[in-house]
Amino acid sequence: MSNNSFVLKGSIAFSENSKDIITYSNGYLVCEKGICKGAFLELPEKYKALPLIDYGNKLIVPGMTDLHVHAPQYTFRGIGMDEELLEWLSTYTFPEEAKYADMEYARKAYSYFSEDLRRCFTTRAVVFGTLHNEATIELMDQLEKTGVITYVGKVNMDRNGGEGLEEADAAESLQATEDWLEAIAGRYKNTMPILTPRFIPSCSDELMKGLGRLSAEKGLRIQSHLSENPSEVAWVKELVPESTCYANAYELFDTMGTVDCPTIMAHCVYSDDLEMEILKKHGAYIAHCADSNMNLTSGIAPIRKFLDAGINIGLGTDVAAGSSMNMIKTMLISLQASKMYYRLVDADVKPLSFEEMFYLATMGGGSYFGKVGSFKDGYDFDAVVIDDSKMYSMRDMSVRERVERMVYNDADAIITDKYVRGSKIYSRSE
Amino acid sequence: MSNNSFVLKGSIAFSENSKDIITYSNGYLVCEKGICKGAFLELPEKYKALPLIDYGNKLIVPGMTDLHVHAPQYTFRGIGMDEELLEWLSTYTFPEEAKYADMEYARKAYSYFSEDLRRCFTTRAVVFGTLHNEATIELMDQLEKTGVITYVGKVNMDRNGGEGLEEADAAESLQATEDWLEAIAGRYKNTMPILTPRFIPSCSDELMKGLGRLSAEKGLRIQSHLSENPSEVAWVKELVPESTCYANAYELFDTMGTVDCPTIMAHCVYSDDLEMEILKKHGAYIAHCADSNMNLTSGIAPIRKFLDAGINIGLGTDVAAGSSMNMIKTMLISLQASKMYYRLVDADVKPLSFEEMFYLATMGGGSYFGKVGSFKDGYDFDAVVIDDSKMYSMRDMSVRERVERMVYNDADAIITDKYVRGSKIYSRSE
């Protein structure tokens, strides 16, 4: 398999589009030089010479894309969850991130993050680091070794960070960004830089504008946060009084991106029609982080509306406001959130179907990386092989039923092998 | 340890009341003849002769009470979750439960349920069977062997069950109930019968009244469902037009119980002030099933209001509308539900604190079984020992923080040992 060409056999499931999951029981999945050539009930003659790995009855699904995760927060996940966003940031998050000035600390903490990322359902991720260049390069070095394909951002923040987590001013922050980009130029195959203004309350107007210029000059993508919490939304309105809405504030700084260089905006819980228009116009991606949004009492984003409007959207775990990097647990919580939005907020906004949620976790977010997140011909071969035999059943469940059951019982879905672009990057038996 | 007297050492956490979690790092927990004698920082002299098991840094928390779980539904958990209650019952649940007429089927399916119940955080459970006497006795036999202490109900339903899952009439259902009670009289130490009218749509007025009489005559407790889904609530109003509300319908049939013989009502999503008054007056227990209520798009029950009103309340997994028997996952989802009720429904109803949720899962539901769910002096010694070392951290987390982190990361909280009334009923090393 040195040229990443092989055939997998097993119980295959993948999205064809946002409405349909295609399944094959005892199906064949062909990978040629890291690219998927499709799934088949009968293996076509021309692929019969390829090495075949028979996974028996195990599930094989596309690798998942985590569009929003904070690496430095991983080691304190699951605590302080009675707080809301701004209190949680100042009490838990900022003091923790300040510790990444210490490289010994960063090295160890990022090794926990990187190793667990390698072992989970995620094959692509878009990652926040901290404002520290050295620690962020360490994170990128470690991520490169995992085989997971990522965008990683050195965070920019020149105000409201509190003690030990603030750059002096826009000039210093922009210079640090240029230094970071220079230091990593040509260094990685799978790890790409992304500009990362934390959010408007953390970045002066000058810094935001500087990052907008840098993005345009270098063709660099941007990630940030948008309309997560009511107090945050109100604060941004004060900080950028000339903006018509939070998304427009980003627009004013030229950080909302373009269709060819799309910005990721995490959350969008409070995005209304005006914000939706702006997101759509710029080809931005929404990183929907339902676990985080429920944990920090932020609210529930109207995902059905975003989907219907044709806005790009995927899922994010948002560790550590989301408490786990497990994308299938994130799917479950996102499904529950969608059902509650329908029941409690607006009965005209129907819950997402399981098919739609599976699509978001795979193809939806995957499209940020290109042809990623499906087993259709021509897609990058990202795959996760899952042993669900611990979930005893009294009937022969269909592959479709098993995929749904796995999402609702994440603890009993055991990853056997994980492939990224045809390379096996994790095996339970290793 | 033949007389169930011993000392455990470890990181101990338990509720003192609904507001406070008491913790001991390197603490001692004393069990004498199955009863907890308290937790201590220094082991009192008089207990030093008892055998001591040193669990090192492992967490030790009280066993949890699952106030509402359907045993026959376990083997199809996690599928059909795009449906609402009534469609889900007729499409998935009732056809599955009908299969328990076949004893071979029942024996195998219940073995999966019983074994997984033995291995999870639950030390006490209140369980629905099916309407079949023989299968229900098989379930009780199996549960008795696990060591978990349970109430189990043969289900009553003489209408609207569909093909193969309906008793002919009230007389047949009541006779079957008497036969069942006679067959199990004196048979178990840890497994108690509970009268189980499924819910009003499944039980004729005559059947309900008969069960009310039986409860009073024999001092038997009752469990049922209340105000789960809008369509169900409307249906009950049609079926019992003279009732002032759903809870009042149960009252009219004398099935709402008494303080000394309390009824458990699952869900109460749509219980208003009038229903709350009725529940309180009768000393009824609410089984709060947030996972189920989100999965079936039922809604969110106002738990804060119930707590403030002094109504008895605990948590239920409600498998298979809830998809897992994992009580700590249920705690997480219940916390998220409580936060969303505050954010989306009523800003005057504050979210439950982590302390309050931990209390509900342990002491709240435990009180249904007596002095259960705490490590205070005089409580039954139900304990779960947990290895959370897979969750790496960069700091020395407090025991309180580790308990919260465990709830938000259930997949990485590994049960090492489980005790019920001082007997070890499960060990990972077995």
Give tens-digit pLDDT for A309-356: 999 999 999 999 999 999 999 999 999 999 999 999 999 999 999 999
Using a pLDDT cut of 90, give the percent of chain B over it. 97
Quick one: A388 and A378 in the same domain? Answer: yes
C-alpha to C-alpha distance for B107 and B93, rounded to whole angstroms = 18
Predicted confidence (pLDDT) at residue B3 exceeds the cutoff of 90:
no
The range of the structural domain enclosing residue A354 comes to 64-369
Residue A49: which CATH number? 2.30.40.10
C-alpha to C-alpha distance for A249 and A271, rounded to whole angstroms = 13
Using a pLDDT cut of 70, give the percent of chain A over it. 100
C-alpha to C-alpha distance for B107 and B118, rounded to whole angstroms = 16
Position B162 confidence tier, pLDDT thresholds 50, 70, 90: confident
Collapse the DSSP code of B234 into the 3-class scheme (helix H, G, I; strand E, B; otherwise coil) and give the result.
Answer: helix
Instruction: Name the residue in chain B with its Cα closest to that of A328.
Output: B411
Predicted confidence (pLDDT) at residue B1 exceeds the cutoff of 70:
no
Predicted confidence (pLDDT) at residue B193 exceeds the cutoff of 90:
yes
How far apart are the two ends of chain A, measured CA to CA in Å?
A: 17
- Asked if the Cβ–Cβ distance from B297 to A343 is below 8 Å, we say yes
Q: What is the tens place of the pLDDT at every residue in A357-381?
A: 999 999 999 999 999 999 999 999 9
From chain A residues 263-292, the ones with a CB under 8 A of any chain B CB are 291
A35 touches chain B (CB under 8 A): no
State which of A319, A342, A369 marks the end of a domain. Answer: A369
Quick one: B157 and B167 in the same domain? Answer: yes
Instruction: Name the residue in chain A with its Cα closest to that of B301.
Output: A344
Instruction: Name the residue in chain B with its Cα closest to that of A294.
Output: B336
Determine which of A269-283, A303-317, B157-171, B183-197 has the lowest per-residue pLDDT on average: B157-171
C-alpha to C-alpha distance for B313 and B93, rounded to whole angstroms = 26
Model pLDDT, residue A318? 98
- Using a CB-CB cut-off of 8 Å, the residues of chain B touching A329 are 411
C-alpha to C-alpha distance for B65 and B68, rounded to whole angstroms = 9
Average pLDDT value for residue range A43-63: 98
Quick one: A196 and A310 in the same domain? Answer: yes
- Asked if the Cβ–Cβ distance from B297 to A407 is below 8 Å, we say no
For residue B82, which of A405, A387, A289 has the smallest C-alpha distance?
Answer: A405
**Whether B39 contacts B46, CB under 8 Å:** no
- Asked if the Cβ–Cβ distance from A344 to B345 is below 8 Å, we say yes
What separation in angstroms does the CA of B427 have from each of A38, B65, B387, B419, B430?
Answer: 45, 19, 12, 9, 5
**Whether A418 contacts A424, CB under 8 Å:** yes
B215 touches chain A (CB under 8 A): no
Collapse the DSSP code of B218 into the 3-class scheme (helix H, G, I; strand E, B; otherwise coil) and give the result.
Answer: helix
- Which region holds residue B38: left if phi is over 0, alpha if psi is between -120 and 50, else beta? left
How many interchain CB pairs under 8 A, A with B?
A: 145
Model pLDDT, residue A36? 98
Radius of gyration in angstroms for the set of CA atoms belonging to chain B, rounded to a whole number: 21
Position A430 confidence tier, pLDDT thresholds 50, 70, 90: confident
B351 touches chain A (CB under 8 A): yes
From chain B residues 72-91, the ones with a CB under 8 A of any chain A CB are 75-79, 81-82
- Burial (CB < 10 A; 0-12, 13-18, 19+), residue A326, is buried
- Asked if the Cβ–Cβ distance from A112 to B295 is below 8 Å, we say no
Average pLDDT value for residue range B160-186: 96
Q: What is the tens place of the pLDDT at every residue in B365-413?
A: 999 999 999 999 999 999 999 999 999 989 889 999 999 999 999 999 9
A380 strand-pairing partners: A35
Mean pLDDT of chain A: 97
Quick one: A397 and A340 in the same domain? Answer: no
Position A58 confidence tier, pLDDT thresholds 50, 70, 90: very high
C-alpha to C-alpha distance for A132 and A134, rounded to whole angstroms = 6
Residue B284: which CATH number? 3.20.20.140
Query: B399-408 and B327-340 helices cross at what angle (nearest 10)?
Result: 90
Query: A327-340 and B327-340 helices cross at what angle (nearest 10)?
Result: 40
Instruction: Name the residue in chain A with its Cα closest to that of B352.
Output: A82
State how far residue A326 is from chain B, nearest Cα, in angstroms.
Answer: 10
DSSP state of B90: I
Radius of gyration in angstroms for the set of CA atoms belonging to chain A, rounded to a whole number: 21
- Asked if the Cβ–Cβ distance from A82 to B333 is below 8 Å, we say no
Instruction: Name the residue in chain B with its Cα closest to that of A100.
Output: B394
- Asked if the Cβ–Cβ distance from B411 to A108 is below 8 Å, we say no
Q: What is the tens place of the pLDDT at every residue in B249-263?
A: 999 999 999 999 999
Position A109 confidence tier, pLDDT thresholds 50, 70, 90: very high
Quick one: A364 and A379 in the same domain? Answer: no
State how far residue A296 is from chain B, nearest Cα, in angstroms.
Answer: 8
C-alpha to C-alpha distance for A368 and B393, rounded to whole angstroms = 31
Quick one: A47 and A78 in the same domain? Answer: no
C-alpha to C-alpha distance for A269 and A288, rounded to whole angstroms = 8
| Number of domains comprising chain A | 2
C-alpha to C-alpha distance for B227 and B280, rounded to whole angstroms = 16
Average pLDDT value for residue range A114-141: 98
For residue A25, which of A5, A7, A39 has the smallest C-alpha distance?
Answer: A39
Model pLDDT, residue A62? 98
Quick one: B365 and B380 in the same domain? Answer: no
Quick one: B214 and B283 in the same domain? Answer: yes
- Asked if the Cβ–Cβ distance from B324 to A411 is below 8 Å, we say yes
The dihedrals phi and psi of B175, each to the nearest 5 degrees, come to: -60, -45
State how far residue A46 is from chain B, nearest Cα, in angstroms.
Answer: 37
Q: What is the tens place of the pLDDT at every residue in B280-313?
A: 999 999 999 999 999 999 999 999 999 999 999 9
The dihedrals phi and psi of B355, each to the nearest 5 degrees, come to: -60, -45
Strands A155-156 and A191-193: unpaired
Model pLDDT, residue A3? 78
State which of A340, A369, A398 marks the end of a domain. Answer: A369
Predicted confidence (pLDDT) at residue A1 exceeds the cutoff of 90:
no
Model pLDDT, residue B76? 92
Model pLDDT, residue A2? 56
A405 touches chain B (CB under 8 A): yes
Mean pLDDT of chain B: 97
Quick one: B72 and B34 in the same domain? Answer: no
- Using a CB-CB cut-off of 8 Å, the residues of chain B touching A109 are 394
C-alpha to C-alpha distance for A308 and A178, rounded to whole angstroms = 39
Strands B35-40 and B21-32: antiparallel
Position A130 confidence tier, pLDDT thresholds 50, 70, 90: very high
State which of B369, B391, B418 marks the end of a domain. Answer: B369
- Using a CB-CB cut-off of 8 Å, the residues of chain B touching A81 are 335, 354, 404, 408
Predicted confidence (pLDDT) at residue B2 exceeds the cutoff of 70:
no
Using CB atoms, which residue from A78, A99, A299 is nearest to B408? A78
Choose from A344, A349, A386 for mutation: most chain B CBs within 10 A: A344
Quick one: A335 and A348 in the same domain? Answer: yes
Quick one: A58 and A71 in the same domain? Answer: no
Predicted confidence (pLDDT) at residue A86 exceeds the cutoff of 80:
yes
Quick one: A333 and A418 in the same domain? Answer: no
Query: Which position has the token pair 């605990």?
Result: B314
Predicted confidence (pLDDT) at residue B327 exceeds the cutoff of 80:
yes
C-alpha to C-alpha distance for B215 and A223, rounded to whole angstroms = 62
B406 touches chain A (CB under 8 A): yes
- Using a CB-CB cut-off of 8 Å, the residues of chain A touching B297 are 339-340, 342-343, 351
What separation in angstroms does the CA of A2 have from each of A35, A184, A423?
Answer: 14, 28, 9
